[in-house]
Amino acid sequence: MRDRLPNRHSERFTPRATVIGAGKFGHAIAEIVSRQNIPTHLVTRSESRVEAIRQRLTRHSAALSVHKFGDAPLADIVFLALPSNELPEMVGRLGAYPDIADKQFALLSKGLTYPDGETPLELVSRTFGIDHAAVVTGPSLADELPHRTTHLAVASHNEDLRHYLANMLAGDSIHTHESDDSTGVEWAGIAKNVATLGFHARLAATNSRNDAGAYAAQLYSEIWEYAATLGAEPRSFIGIAGVGDLLTTSHAPTSRNVRAGQLIGKGHSTGEAEARIKQTVEAFHTVPLLARRIQSGVRIQELVDTLLSTHKQS
């Protein structure tokens, strides 16, 4: 599969990237890549948003253009910056492209997909092949990208792909860290989202940081123990993709998982929380799917019950 990647030393080589998903994080990734003078297409599925996004592009974004999905060809590298619950439909649509077998995918979601609870990596690997997939994650608050120092974990079974992506994303303020443990890096990001949601939901409900901290640690441990059965390595959960991202997110007042947990802990339903936040909260959709996969997860099931009880009260 390595021969499918462009040769960066070829005279004919012109790196290009497509970022599907024009939310804050997708937009930030597109800006990071385009600042390397790499032609980058930022793709949204909403035609009404195309012009609005174009007006927000910075003067540093000469290599960045905005398109409606289907109006621009896919580049060799495709970043999928969509909520995990939206990925199955998009992957199905991408499968119809005639040259899709030549594309490589960088996955930015941190959740599970409907209906069977596959991770984004599992879904894309099953559809296009594991050597076509990489995970990009880490402490990367969209509000701080691309201007403040940020560390990104880039993980793939395909050594050439992860090295290629790491070089594409690295810059003055962006530090990239390569890993061959794509399973562990992805599950660490999922655990981070769930633990952050759980911590702030429990804190809002009990006003006890001691209790909330213990609860979040137990959630994180249950997911780690399950991920280990899939081959995940401890270094991914204790590294920047896990503990690093967990500390960053749980202390960020603008984090959707922090705000969602606070609202849930105060008795608001998941629907009310997402309406107030005006963003998809991946953890809301992930937790019930996670409970199906990790049936021995006592704390995970408690979090499911919390989400269900607030939903019934609304």
What pLDDT sits at residue 98?
85
Q: How many domains in the chain?
A: 2
What pLDDT sits at residue 60?
56
Query: Does residue 174 share a domain with residue 61?
Result: yes
Query: Does residue 256 share a domain with residue 223?
Result: yes
What pLDDT sits at residue 57?
66
Q: Residue 288 is part of a domain; what is its CATH number?
A: 1.10.1040.10
pTM: 0.91
Task: Among 180, 215, 230, identify where a domain stops.
Answer: 180
State yes or no: pLDDT of 312 exceeds 70: no
Query: Does residue 166 share a domain with residue 81?
Result: yes
Task: Among 149, 180, 211, identify where a domain stops.
Answer: 180
Query: Does residue 241 share a domain with residue 158?
Result: no
Residue 232 has φ and ψ, to the nearest 5°, of -65, 145
Is residue 264 within 8 A of residue 310, CB to CB? The reply is yes
Give the chain's mean pLDDT: 90
What pLDDT sits at residue 5?
52
Q: Average pLDDT of 261-277? A: 94
Residue 202: CB atoms within 10 Å: 26
Query: Does residue 216 share a domain with residue 176?
Result: no
Query: Does residue 90 share a domain with residue 32?
Result: yes
State yes or no: pLDDT of 9 exceeds 90: no
State yes or no: pLDDT of 11 exceeds 80: no
pLDDT tens-digit series, residues 170-227: 988 999 999 999 999 999 999 999 999 999 999 999 999 999 999 999 999 999 999 9
Whole-Å CA distances, 100 to 16, 28, 124, 167, 243: 15, 25, 12, 23, 35
State yes or no: pLDDT of 43 exceeds 90: yes
Q: Residue 39 is part of a domain; what is its CATH number?
A: 3.40.50.720
Starting at the earlier edge strand, list the strands of the sheet with 150-155: 64-68, 40-44, 17-20, 77-80, 104-107, 133-137, 150-155, 174-179
Query: Does residue 51 share a domain with residue 167?
Result: yes
Residue given tokens 């213990």 in the structure block: 214
State yes or no: pLDDT of 130 exceeds 70: yes
Query: Does residue 106 share a domain with residue 44?
Result: yes
Report the share of the chain in percent with pLDDT over 90: 73
Which positions ≥6 away from 72 have C-beta within 8 Å? 18, 41, 43, 65
Task: Among 180, 198, 218, identify where a domain stops.
Answer: 180
Query: Does residue 196 share a domain with residue 115?
Result: no
pLDDT tens-digit series, residues 79-107: 999 999 999 999 999 999 888 999 999 99
Range of the domain at 211: 184-313
State yes or no: pLDDT of 3 exceeds 50: no
Nearest-CA neighbor of 269 among 260, 280, 278? Answer: 260
Query: Does residue 196 share a domain with residue 170?
Result: no
Query: Does residue 148 share a domain with residue 24?
Result: yes
Query: Does residue 43 share a domain with residue 156?
Result: yes
Task: pLDDT band for 12, please (50, 70, 90 cuts).
Answer: very low
Pick from 64-73, 196-205, 253-262: least confident:
64-73
Q: What span, in angstroms and rounded, lies between the C-alpha atoms of 152 and 171? A: 11
Q: Average pLDDT of 247-254? A: 93
State yes or no: pLDDT of 58 exceeds 80: no
**Which residues in 203-226 are b (16+ Cβ under 10 Å) and which e?**
bbbeeeeeebeebbebbbebbbeb
Q: Average pLDDT of 301-313? A: 78
